[in-house]
A and B are shown apart, each in its own frame.
Chain A
Amino acid sequence: MSQTIAQKIFACHAGKDKVEVDELVFAKLDMVLGTDVTVPLSVEVFRRMGAKEVFDPKKVVLVNDHFVPAKDLAAAGLSKTMREFAKEMGVFNYFEVGRSGICHVLLPDEGLVKPGDLIVGADSHTCTYGALGAFSTGIGSTDMAAAWAIGELWFRVPATIKVEVNGDLPEWVGGKDVALFIIGQLGVEGALYKTLEFTGNAISNLSMDGRFTLCNMAIEAGGKAGIVPPDKKTAEFMAQFPEIHYEPLLSDPDAEFIEEHVFDVSDLKLQVAKPYLPSNAVGVDEVKGIKVDQVVLGSCTNGRLSDYQMAADAMKGRSVHPDTRLIVIPSTRDVYLELLDSGLAEVFTEAGAVIGPPTCGPCIGGHMGILAENEVGLYTTNRNFVGRNGHPSSQVFLAGTAVAGATAVAGEIAHPDDI
């Protein structure tokens, strides 16, 4: 029987030769990720389960990223619970504030995920690691507690939707634009319970950064996972971890896909998703001129060096508009150092941006940049639901980093060519 990448990963983690779509399997986990906002509930459930130790301290990763540095007393308590649990369990991969960062940028850069892995995380954007050819998906806190206790979880083997993307991307257009365009085409529930497998020459040519952005957004189409078949670029990325051995898995040529879509992105416009759904994607021209109070540059979606470089290029040495605030959040310590080394930290600071510490803060309306009543934001993040980023009357437009840079300078939604 021919199988997709997703089926192959579930088969080998469930100790089977093959699995059928919709089959329920218990599958062993390669990595279980938790953050300060989801771990404390898991710790409570873990104790109630009567568990004494985690299944493998090397396969648990705990990251301080959501409400850090602690936004208030309650948040401080969440991190404290996670810190103490990590010590008690001897968790190998515990990331403290200052040595931490936004988990979905951090884990690949730390060599904690690899092609062919089965990964779960108590964060919905765990689907990011599909960019490396892993099957990686979000779960809640009870599932995470169970995963810590027994090292496996139940899954319904998902059907796969094949999305073939062809053509050379125009100037300024990147992974975020492809992601928003696809979500616009499929809708926010277009891939519900399913895996999205991205193929085609535009994906082969897409950088690893762009692939992380694309797979990160799979959940915004309802997807259980987004996967890019591992290739030469994947191997180049993994080459920075020579000690890691892996077996790249590919879908068989005659594997069954529940749907197939083919898109040509040769003429793709820079995309902007209007409030209040990520699927409200339109070309930037349709929303040009809308006044913006705050631009947020960063997040697990667009928080890598090339993202900041693209934004700075789009700003063309100009200052942030007097009526607009630009918040730049390097996603990890390493990315922060790259911003310093490359001179981008200086460029943004001199332009009038504020550089914050690595955190999910403004993306979830937690802290470090909340929108006031009726304010408008343009964010490089992943969701623009009602109230997510601040007051329920505030509005967020989602875009890639080129539009973010241009918008920060123009004070209104803009294309870099307008600057």
Chain B
Amino acid sequence: MEGTVFKYGDNVDTDVIIPARYCTSFHKEELAPHCLEDLDATFVNRVNKGDIIVGGRNFGCGSSRENAPLAILGAGVGAVVAESFARIFYRNSINVGLPIFECPEAVRAARESDRLRIDINKGEITNLTSGGSYTASPFPARIREIIDVGGFEEYVRRRLSEQQP
């Protein structure tokens, strides 16, 4: 995938990703118009399909709301690259299929509006604007297995169907 960088700082929290006042919906199309509204009101008007959010440390801290990665997906974002992710956001992103990459070097080198290319399977991030190449921390093997079967929902679906007589 290839997209334009929208760069933000440390501790981008779930309240700014999608404020609770919109969390009476959990459908990504309805959440999308409000994605990052309280942090960057122009974001949803500027973002194009496949663009990439670059955050600092502790991206997605705060609430357990799965509406947060759903809002980002709904806005058309292709991936989030950050120095580190908050724990629940990390799980939720894997579970809803939002590609996330932990890669401090790529974050530090990326500037607003740079073009990034990401090989999702290999975790290879190339900054097409500056020319730098980086490799994100790989997912642990057992998480990789869950991602490879199509996510946790599919993993559980298969497990349940195997249990049927």
A residues with CB within 8 A of B: 24, 37-38, 40-41, 44-45, 48-51, 66-67, 71-72, 74-75, 77-78, 121-124, 126, 138-143, 145-146, 149-150, 154, 156, 188-189, 192-193, 222, 224, 277, 364-366, 383, 385-388, 392
Known interface pairs A38-B64, A140-B66, A188-B61; A386-B159 also in contact (CB < 8 Å): no
Question: Is there contact, CB below 8 Å, between A37 and B23?
Answer: yes
Listed by A's residue number, 22 A-B pairs whose Cβ atoms lie within 8 Å are: A37-B24, A38-B66, A41-B67, A50-B157, A51-B156, A51-B160, A124-B62, A140-B66, A141-B66, A142-B96, A142-B152, A146-B153, A146-B155, A149-B160, A150-B159, A365-B21, A383-B62, A385-B13, A386-B13, A386-B16, A386-B38, A392-B37
Please report the C-alpha to C-alpha distance between residue A312 and residue B101 in the assembled complex, in whole angstroms.
49
Question: Is there contact, CB below 8 Å, between B26 and A49?
Answer: no
Please report the C-alpha to C-alpha distance between residue A142 and residue B11 in the assembled complex, in whole angstroms.
23
Please report the C-alpha to C-alpha distance between residue A50 and residue B162 in the assembled complex, in whole angstroms.
12
Q: For A189, list chain B residues within 8 Å (CB).
A: 10-11, 57-58, 61, 84, 86
Question: Is there contact, CB below 8 Å, between A41 and B26?
Answer: yes
B24 to chain A, nearest CB (A): 3
When C-beta atoms are compared, the residue in chain B nearest to A36 turns out to be B24
B146 proximal to A (CB < 8 A)? yes
Please report the C-alpha to C-alpha distance between residue A122 and residue B38 in the assembled complex, in whole angstroms.
24
Question: Is there contact, CB below 8 Å, between A385 and B15?
Answer: yes
Q: For A142, list chain B residues within 8 Å (CB).
A: 66, 92, 95-96, 151-153
* B142-160 interface code vs A (CB 8 A; 1 in, 0 out): 1100100001110111011
B161 proximal to A (CB < 8 A)? yes
Q: For B24, list chain A residues within 8 Å (CB).
A: 37, 67, 71-72, 74-75, 77-78
Return the 9 tightest CB-CB contacts between A and B, nearest first.
A74-B24, A387-B38, A142-B95, A140-B92, A189-B58, A140-B66, A41-B26, A364-B20, A392-B38
A77 to chain B, nearest CB (A): 8
Q: For A37, list chain B residues within 8 Å (CB).
A: 20, 23-24, 65
Question: Is there contact, CB below 8 Å, between A41 and B161?
Answer: no
B120 proximal to A (CB < 8 A)? no
**B11, B15, B86, B141: the one within 8 Å of A388 (CB):** B15
Q: For B64, list chain A residues within 8 Å (CB).
A: 38, 121-124, 126, 138-140
B103 to chain A, nearest CB (A): 16
B residues with CB within 8 A of A: 10-11, 13, 15-16, 19-21, 23-26, 37-39, 57-58, 61-67, 84, 86-88, 91-92, 95-96, 140-143, 146, 151-153, 155-157, 159-161
Please report the C-alpha to C-alpha distance between residue A364 and residue B141 in the assembled complex, in whole angstroms.
36
Q: For B92, list chain A residues within 8 Å (CB).
A: 140-143
Please report the C-alpha to C-alpha distance between residue A229 and residue B141 in the assembled complex, in whole angstroms.
32
A393 to chain B, nearest CB (A): 10
When C-beta atoms are compared, the residue in chain B nearest to A51 turns out to be B160
B165 to chain A, nearest CB (A): 13
**A146, A222, A388: the one within 8 Å of B20 (CB):** A388
A7 to chain B, nearest CB (A): 17
Question: Is there contact, CB below 8 Å, between A385 and B88?
Answer: no
Q: For B160, list chain A residues within 8 Å (CB).
A: 49-51, 149-150
Question: Is there contact, CB below 8 Å, between B152 and A146?
Answer: yes
Q: For B159, list chain A residues within 8 Å (CB).
A: 150
Question: Is there contact, CB below 8 Å, between A387 and B19?
Answer: yes
Q: For A366, list chain B residues within 8 Å (CB).
A: 20-21
A38 to chain B, nearest CB (A): 7
Q: For B63, list chain A residues within 8 Å (CB).
A: 123-124, 364
Question: Is there contact, CB below 8 Å, between B146 and A154?
Answer: yes
Q: For A224, list chain B residues within 8 Å (CB).
A: 87
Please report the C-alpha to C-alpha distance between residue A176 and residue B96 in the assembled complex, in whole angstroms.
35
Q: For A383, list chain B residues within 8 Å (CB).
A: 13, 15, 62
**A138, A145, A156, A392: the one within 8 Å of B153 (CB):** A145
Please report the C-alpha to C-alpha distance between residue A383 and residue B15 in the assembled complex, in whole angstroms.
10
Please report the C-alpha to C-alpha distance between residue A139 and residue B38 in the assembled complex, in whole angstroms.
24
Q: For B156, list chain A residues within 8 Å (CB).
A: 49, 51, 145-146, 149-150
A282 to chain B, nearest CB (A): 18
Question: Is there contact, CB below 8 Å, between A192 and B87?
Answer: yes
Please report the C-alpha to C-alpha distance between residue A388 and residue B95 in the assembled complex, in whole angstroms.
25
When C-beta atoms are compared, the residue in chain B nearest to A76 turns out to be B24
Q: For B37, list chain A residues within 8 Å (CB).
A: 387, 392
**A72, A143, A192: the one within 8 Å of B91 (CB):** A143
